[in-house]
């Protein structure tokens, strides 16, 4: 079966996906809103430049062998899902690739019959300017179903190698919600602190940040446990510190959003934890502080 890959938006991770598809000689096309500048070039870790391809015409609906990848900001997701709802068949797989949480609930509400997949990646990517993205750090990607679908097993076998080419290495996770909570925890700890202090990730290794990082981890773990996801707080802090060390030169996406005066994903990151904690009657003062501080900027 020959798949066509459809990638939305002009974000950094979408650019990496498109460049991977291009290098693997897969059939792909990028879509960008009329009021946005399209990414034209992707610079690889080896310095090689890939020129990205965009859709030249609208051919809807997308069919059973189209994969629709949505590497968008969390706050862009609802509008995108509603916009594409009428442009895809009921069998078109939709892959959500965004920071934070809340996408599953939106997809279940807007496209309940479609197979919906989730992915999270640790690859580093930075937009150098409006039309160029640079791959700044080798990472890995986790992939799984958002919720049960009869075609889940066949999609696992068909789409894993496609995503492996786009943004590999890829690990299929049957417990994707656990993986997303673990990624959420890392984002809760690193993103707002780097944005508020205007520093790169590596600066958070300083001892002065350790109490705040530990408190964030403990609060997220407590909330996750109330939601049926067990994450050990000690291991979580160690994982955060490892990410800080391994991405020391990188700037978080929230830092970049604040630096460029763009909306942030704070509501889908610390804000999601605060919202879930409120439902469970849990006090999360440090995550609440991060949420309010970012919104005040």
Catalytic residues: 183
Contact 221, 236 (CB under 8 A): yes
Widest distance between CA atoms in the chain: 55
DSSP, collapsed to helix, strand or coil, labels residue 178 as: helix
**Interatomic CA distance for residues 148 and 280, integer angstroms:** 25
**Interatomic CA distance for residues 80 and 69, integer angstroms:** 11
Phi, psi of 239 (to 5 degrees): -65, -40
Q: Is the dihedral of CA 180, 97, 40, 129 positive or negative?
A: negative
Burial 184-203 (b: 16+ CB within 10 A, else e): bbbbbbbbbbbbbeebbbee
Long-range contacts of 287-293 (CB under 8 A, 24+ apart): 287/188, 287/216, 287/219, 287/220, 290/188, 290/192, 290/193, 290/196, 290/216, 290/266, 291/192, 291/266, 291/267, 293/192, 293/196
End-to-end CA distance of the chain: 49
DSSP state of 282: -
Element (H, E) at 242: helix 233-246
Across the beta sheet with 4-8, the strand order is 27-31, 4-8, 66-70, 94-96, 116-121, 141-145, 170-172
């Amino acid at each position: 079966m020959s798949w066509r890959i459809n990638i939305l938006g002009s974000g950094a991770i979408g650019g990496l996906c498109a460049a991977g598809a291009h290098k693997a000689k897969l059939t792909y096309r990028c879509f960008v809103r009329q009021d946005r500048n399209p990414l034209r070039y992707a610079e690889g870790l080896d310095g090689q430049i890939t020129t990205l391809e965009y859709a030249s015409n609208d051919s809807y609906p997308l069919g059973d062998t189209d994969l629709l990848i949505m590497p968008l900001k969390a706050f862009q997701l609802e509008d995108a899902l509603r916009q594409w709802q009428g442009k895809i068949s009921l069998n078109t797989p939709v892959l959500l690739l965004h920071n934070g949480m809340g996408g599953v609930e939106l997809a279940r509400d807007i496209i309940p019959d479609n197979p919906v997949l989730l992915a999270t990646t640790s690859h580093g990517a930075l937009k150098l300017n409006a039309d160029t993205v640079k791959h700044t750090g080798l990472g890995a990607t986790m992939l799984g179903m958002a919720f049960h679908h009869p075609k889940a097993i066949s999609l696992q076998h068909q789409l894993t190698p496609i995503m492996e080419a786009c943004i590999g290495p890829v690990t299929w996770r049957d417990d994707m919600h656990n993986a997303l909570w673990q990624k959420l925890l890392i984002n809760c700890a690193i993103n707002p602190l780097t944005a508020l202090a205007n520093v790169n990730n590596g600066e958070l290794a300083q001892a002065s940040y350790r109490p705040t990082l530990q408190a964030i981890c403990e609060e997220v773990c407590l909330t996750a446990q109330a939601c049926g996801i067990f994450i050990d707080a000690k291991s979580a802090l160690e994982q955060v510190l490892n990410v800080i060390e391994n991405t020391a030169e990188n700037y978080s996406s929230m830092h970049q959003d604040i630096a460029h005066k763009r909306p942030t994903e704070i509501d889908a990151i610390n804000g999601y934890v605060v919202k879930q904690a409120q439902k469970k009657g849990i006090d999360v003062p440090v995550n609440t502080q991060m949420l309010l501080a970012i919104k005040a900027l």
